[in-house]
Amino acid sequence: MKLWDGRFRENLEAGAETFGASIDFDQRLWRQDIRGSIAHARMLAACGLISREEMEQIVAGLESIAADLEAGQVELRREAEDIHMNIEELLTARIGEAGAKLHTARSRNDQVVLDLRLYAKAELAQVAAVLCKLQEVLLEQAKNHLDTLMPGYTHLQRAQPVTLAHHLLAYFAMLQRDFGRLSHAYDAADVCPLGAGALAATTLPINREMVARELCFSRVAENSLDAVSDRDFVLEFTGAACLIMMHLSRLAEEIILWATEEFGFVELPDAYSTGSSMMPQKKNPDVAELIRGKTGRVYGHHLALLTVLKGLPLAYNKDLQEDKEALFDTVDTVKACLEVCAGLLQALRFRREVMAEAAGGFTLATDLAEYLVRRGLPFRQAHRVVGRLVGYCLEQGRALADLTLDEYRRFSPEFGPDVLAVGDPRRSLERRDLPGGPAPEQVRLACARAREQLAGNRSHPMFAGE
């Protein structure tokens, strides 16, 4: 017996039944499904579509099913296809006739997307919370390293001096934008589809606003066809997750590079690295590599969803069942990566001397050119003069800081005795004193701003619970 088999003369072929069943993965939605059904039943009673006693039986029955599911004491049946029909069958088995009234003025089409929206809202808040945790660690490490010099890179070639604090705050800024995207996805998910029915609402006098209020939705879906076929909120979630993963992957890549003997900027914490089964000396950055690696599957889910949706005529189509595994795995992956990344970053020990050493050398060549600009030389000429100076140093195997004033003057008469002071990377940093720049004073301000942003994030309504 199926809940829908009134018109059928033959049973569903066993392979087709297994093929179409979603219970193996959509059982994850049981809490949302029961919560939605309780709200729906209350509304049906309030509208006089079922009696008060029936409503109370339904609510008690659903609560007992929830308790049994929580305790792992329910056997879900693949023949019942999905979580919605499993729970409805269980309910009717437990309370009889009243259970058969629960589906009044409802379809699995509005029910499934209701469940998914409730799930997405809760999970968006969880992802956002772990994201804030990583932001906190970035901010703490930045504060520990306000005066840890390091070379900034372009093309992975040493470019100009920065501090580790400034570098880490760049990741804070990326995650801050991610927070904004999660907040936007939350808003997109915060729409109640119930009442859309299968596609064209219902002839029965229901109250959509009441259900929406009870389930803490800000608004009801405006169009019944859109309500059952819209999965934009899932894509906004997975899209935000893609950018989070891309940012984590870039950070992971830097940690991997910094932990090489060639860079030597960080000591990998034992607790976050592994050895080799063959090479006794190895210490591998597996955790960072896996974060980088898992980025691919999150991108994959996002693209899979876009592809599932692109050819669908309105309204519900069974293709939409494919939305769940993609979203579930995205949620699991992004949460795990954020969590482990926060732990790894907190445990990293940076080698200040190695980083400071690498920050010197030719990274002050632009400062020299700007010195000449202050003396009135057009920048292009100054650039050429310093380029020649660098070439001269390379020929002689010397550093810019080792040259005498006489040698400087051979390249430009504009060089004065104060040029010898230009070679100090800390002075160079102090001179980069603009909003958004790496001067220690600016970075201190940036830390204060980041602290405020984080406090703002943490008071976002999505954390108020439902």
Helix (H) or strand (E) holding 154: strand 149-154
Residue of 40, 155, 277, 459 marked catalytic: 155
Assess whether the previous peptide bond of 189 is cis (omega < 30° from 0). no
**Which CB atom, from 186 or from 316, has the smaller least distance to ligand ARG?**
316
Q: Assess 88 for contact with ligand ARG (CB under 6 A).
A: no
- Stretch touching ligand ARG by CB under 6 A, among 38-46, 91-99, 235-243, 313-321: 313-321
Nearer to ligand ARG, 60 or 312 (CB): 312
CA distances from 85 to 1, 18, 22, 63, 194 (A): 12, 15, 11, 16, 17
Judged by CB under 6 A, the stretch of 215-223, 316-324, 376-384, 438-446 that binds ligand ARG is 316-324
First to last CA, the chain: 37
| Residue 449: exposure state from Cβ atoms within 10 A (0-12, 13-18, ≥19) | middle
Nearer to ligand ARG, 153 or 328 (CB): 328
| Active-site residue, selected from the candidate residues 166, 276, 277, 302 | 276
Do the Cβ atoms of 138 and 175 come closer than 8 Å?
Answer: yes
> Closer CB to ligand ARG, residue 112 or residue 182?
112
Query: Facing residues of 350 across strands?
Result: 266
Q: Which of 35, 40, 106, 108 binds ligand ARG (CB under 6 A)?
A: 108
449 in Cβ contact with 443 (< 8 Å): no
Tokens of 162: 């920065």
| 86 binds ligand ARG, rule: CB under 6 A | no
Q: Which is nearer to ligand ARG, 69 or 320 (CB)?
A: 320
Q: Does 457 bind ligand ARG (CB under 6 A)?
A: no
**For ligand ARG, the closer CB: 82 or 178:** 82
Least distance from C-beta 119 to ligand ARG, angstroms?
Answer: 12
Considering the rule CB under 6 A, would residue 109 count as an interface residue with ligand ARG?
Answer: yes
Assess whether 155 carries a catalytic annotation. yes
Contact region with ligand ARG (CB under 6 A), list: 72-80, 104-112, 142-150, 262-270: 104-112
Question: What is the rounded distance in angstroms from the CA atom of residue 56 to the CA atom of residue 63?
Answer: 10
15-34 residues in contact with ligand ARG (CB under 6 A) are 22, 26
Q: Footprint of ligand ARG on residues 56-85 (CB under 6 A)? A: 82
* 349 DSSP β-pair partners: 267
| Residues 6+ away with beta carbon under 8 Å from 277 | none
Q: Which of residues 317-356 bind ligand ARG (CB under 6 A)?
A: 318, 320-321
Pairwise CA distance, residues 135 & 168, whole Å: 10
How many other CB atoms sit within 10 Å of the CB of residue 384?
A: 15
Token pair 């005066």: residue: 147
- Binding footprint of ligand ARG, residue count (CB under 6 A): 10
Task: Decide if 37 is catalytic.
Answer: no
**How far apart are alpha carbons 90 and 99 in whole angstroms?**
9
- Please identify every residue annotated as catalytic: 155, 276
Q: Which residues bind ligand ARG (CB under 6 A)?
A: 22, 26, 82, 108-109, 112, 316, 318, 320-321
